[in-house]
Structure formats: structure tokens, C-alpha cells
Structure 1
Amino acid sequence: MVAGKTSTSRRLARQCGLATIDLDAYIERRERRAINQIFAEQGEQAFRDMETQVLDEFAHKGPMLVSCGGGIVLREENREILKNNGFVVYLQVTAEQAVERVGDVSTRPLFKNLETARQTIAGRLPMYEDVASVSIDTVGKSINVVAQEIQEILEKEGVLCLRQG
């Protein structure tokens, strides 16, 4: 939640010459409504069904960076898709940093306050660690620094990343 996934993915895509997709933004465009509207009108289960469908769709496309919402790990099926179809980078964020970054909480249906953020992060941590190929601590780091760290890891691991310029 608000770890910088989309911004980091965009920066890394430019650095590596890869396509990138933000699953939440894709769902919003496809459904022609915001995620918080989907939650309000159809419930979390319906949103999670959509999320699984698009994750599976993009997992089988060519090399690309996929930015997933923080709740993607809640389903075992999604964790298996992630583990079996890519190199997964977990961007770590503290609850305090999440609260600082979140801005408009009305766009975040599962984000209410610091205590909720703490509980959400703690509850999801084992699932994040289960799927992560690597974890990056984002505390106090800019998007550029985080993207550079990831690029260096991808190159070291032999995962496709073509250094630009």
C-alpha cells in the first residue's frame, strides 16, 4: 500500500526499455470506474476476481513490468501466479510511511488510519515474503534510488533488463 510500486515500475521500465502495466489502473479503465466504486457497488470479492483475471492475463504476456495492488497476495491463486511467472520485487514500506504518503484515503477502500495500516501490513507480510524474489526497503529512498537498486538486482540475477544510455 503506497510503497511506490507504480512510480518505481514506470521509472524502471524507462531505464530497462520494457513495457509496464499497473493492474489497478488497468481495471479502472476496463471497468470505467474507480476501485473504490467497484468495492462500494460490487464488494471486495468482485474486485479480487477482476484482479486475479488481469494478473493471469498479463502473467502470460511478453517481458514486462507489472505493478500490482497491495492486496494481490490475499489469494493463494495469485501468489502462485506471481511465483511461477516472474521475478517479484516486494517494496517494503512502514505503516507510518504509508500514512504519510497516502494522501486522499477516499481512493483507498481498505485504508483508514495508522492502526489499520499497521494491521494490514502485518497481516500481509508473510504473503509478501512468500512471493518475493527480493525485498527492497523503501524508507527514506527516492523512486530513482529504488528503481536503480532493482535494476542492479535484475542485472545481477540475469533477469532481462537492458541498461539505457
Structure 2
Amino acid sequence: MKQNKYMMSEGFAFSEEKDMKRLSDMASKGWLLDSFAFMGYKLKKAEPRKLIYSIDYHDVEKESLEEYTEMFEAAGWEHVCSSHGMHIFSAEPGTSPIYSDQSTMREKYKRSEKAVRNVACTLSFLTLLSITLHYVTGLSNWVPLAFLIVTFPFLVTYAAAKSRTLGKWGKSV
């Protein structure tokens, strides 16, 4: 019988490194990352392994995924799973990091920030439109409230993602 376990994510914009460390800890206990799940990860029971995990943010077309992952595999990283422009890789401890300098790290976070920004802007617009419609047409109070409840977490996530791309005093990292 196949055993699975769920591990909740604390959110990539807030604790990407912590999530990757927790996945490594789980692998050492015999729970390997299998796939992304709603707000977290699906783990599968296996032999305990010492692994490190890393994430990359990159929109890759399905037909280009193999070429994309081969680049990481050549550096010792194994593709584990992908979802919505997020790709997690694993490797043996001691493998050179995927991102080893400020320039490539900045590009990584800019790619992640862009996706969140688009959703946050769209939801913000819809929230403001629903508030306007509420006052102009008498639209139910529940519609703007519902949009606000959905929009707020995306705005906070965008702010956190944006802060990762900025260094001290608002300059790019």
C-alpha cells in the first residue's frame, strides 16, 4: 500500500528556504517530495535519504520542460516536480547551489514576483470595481467584501516577494 503525507507550505514569498529545509528533513525521515499540493506538498514514503531541495521560478512550455530540466541535471540536480512556473529539484548534500551569486538570485525572485504581481493587480482592480459598483448601483456589500478577502493575501504575498528583490534602502539586490 502506497503511503502519502501532506506537508503545508509556509509560503514561498515568506519562507522559501525554510520550506526547502523542512523537505530535506522529511527526506531524511523517509518522506520524499512527490508533488505540489494545495498550499503545500505531497510526500511519499521511501527509504530515508539525505537530500537538499531548491526551487526555481520559470515559465516553461511543456515541450521545453525536458530541455530545461536537463540543464539542472547536468549540474547534479534532479527534477522532482513542477506547477505553475515553479520547479523543485533535489540533490545530494554538497552539490553546488542552483543560485550562487546575487545576479542570478535577483532574476529568480523577479520571476516569482512578476506572477504574484499580475494576480494581485487583477484582484485589486476587481475589488475597487466592486466597491465602486456597490456605491453606484447598490451592489451587495458581500461582493466587495469577498473580493477584499481574496485580494488581501495576494497583496501581502506580493509585498513579501517584492521585498526579496530589494536590498537595503530599496535598491535591487
TM-score (norm 1): 0.29
Which has the higher Rg, Structure 1 or Structure 2? 2
TM-score (norm 2): 0.28
Which structure shows the bigger proportion of residues in helix conformation?
1
Which structure shows the bigger proportion of residues in strand conformation?
2
If asked which structure has higher relative contact order (CA below 8 Å, sep 6+), I would say 1
